[in-house]
Amino acid sequence: MMNDQVYMQRCLELAVLGAGKTSPNPMVGAVIVYEDQIIGEGYTSPYGGPHAEVNAINNAIAKFGEIEALERFKCSTIYVSLEPCAHFGKTPPCADLIVEMGIQKVVIACLDPYAKVNGLGLKKLQDAGIATEVGVLEAEAKWVNRRFFTKIAQSRPYIILKWAETADGFFAPIDSSQKWISNVASKQLVHKWRAEEDAILVGKNTAIVDNPSLTVRDWQGRNPKRVLIDKNLAVPPDFSILNDQAETIVFNAIKTDWQGHLKYVELENFDLYLPQQILCQLYLMDIQSVIIEGGKKTLDMFIEAGLWDEARVFQSTESWETGVKAPKFNGQEIAVEKIGSDVLSTFVPHK
């Protein structure tokens, strides 16, 4: 059992290497073990490419050649952080490939809640006479794919709140001027996070006051989709958030129009259940996760609606003594770490 956990932990380490690339698919890692040695491993390719199991099998074949690899598979166990798929999508079913390769046993961290899988992959393996085990590091695997699980279970994207506050709890200057709170290392980390999520959302005031580009210029990776809440289209067209560096979705009360990288989406009854309307539209666009970066009004709107899954809060050593107070929320702290001089706390809602 201890070895099972070691090999499954390796699957989870591999899975997160696909962060920011696999959506709307989940992040999955796979490891093939023969005589207590890893002979092949892989993780899910960018969306549309081979899944983790395929990459692990191909990795073993590349090492040993097809004939030798097939012989080893007969006495091998494949560890997978999510149930192998059972349907034809962008790629053929992984469960069928595992059966075809003659692998002796499959150990799965957790079942896939997607309706076209959800136990069907496991059944295919069992019907073929393959030994199976489910539930090794299940909680850890569900955390890795919390975005995917939230989208399936709640029909909305996974919501991450992010902000920085001073040591005395202030979020922004009273006069709406721009004033940086967190340090350079924290800023770079935020850019890494952006590369890992599907979209990043701000309100109109933040777009005007800060004129942010919301890109990953301080990190390698693809820019997330930008989401702007701008009821009356007040953000000037030459502002950074509307440039062509990323696709931008503008929720407004005036028009629906698609102009190249700009997608204007008019919401009827704009002020009625606005967070719910926005998340419904983003879900329909196959967006699996969103970082909400501000401002205060926008963050408070999602907090008050109970529509958030994770909050990442930087606290600096600087004190202002006055300003706009940071958002308040009811959350359970699950992690604390030092980022240079800043302290980063991660919260989830109280259950």
How many Cα atoms occupy the beta-carbon half-sphere of 89 within 13 Å?
18
What is residue 234's three-state secondary structure? Answer: coil
Contacts (Cβ under 8 Å, ≥6 apart) of 146: 158, 309, 310
Integer Cα distance of 286 and 271 in angstroms: 24
User: Is there a catalytic annotation at residue 337?
Assistant: no
Quick one: which of 198, 217, 165 has its CA closest to 323? 165
Q: Is 214 annotated as a binding residue?
A: yes
Q: Is 11 annotated as a binding residue?
A: no
Q: Is 293 annotated as a binding residue?
A: yes
Quick one: which of 130, 134, 186 has its CA closest to 162? 186
Q: Locate 317 and state its tokens.
A: 């050593």
Amino acid at 157: P
Q: Is 193 annotated as a binding residue?
A: no
**Total Cβ atoms within 10 A of residue 127:** 10
Look-up of token digits 């930087």: 314
Asked if 314 and 344 count as a contact pair (C-beta separation under 8 A), the reply is yes
Crossing angle between the packed helical segments 66-73 and 52-64, to the nearest 10 degrees: 120
Amino acid at 350: H
Q: Is 51 annotated as a binding residue?
A: yes
Catalytic residue among 13, 41, 53, 310: 53
Asked if 168 and 320 count as a contact pair (C-beta separation under 8 A), the reply is yes
Q: Is 69 annotated as a binding residue?
A: no
Q: Is 185 annotated as a binding residue?
A: no
Q: Which segments are annotated as binding site for Zn(2+)?
A: 51, 85, 94
Q: Which segments are annotated as binding site?
A: 51, 85, 94, 164, 180, 194, 206, 210, 214, 217, 293
Q: Which segments are annotated as binding site for substrate?
A: 194, 206, 214, 217, 293
Q: Which residues are catalytic?
A: 53
Q: Which segments are annotated as binding site for NADP(+)?
A: 164, 180, 210
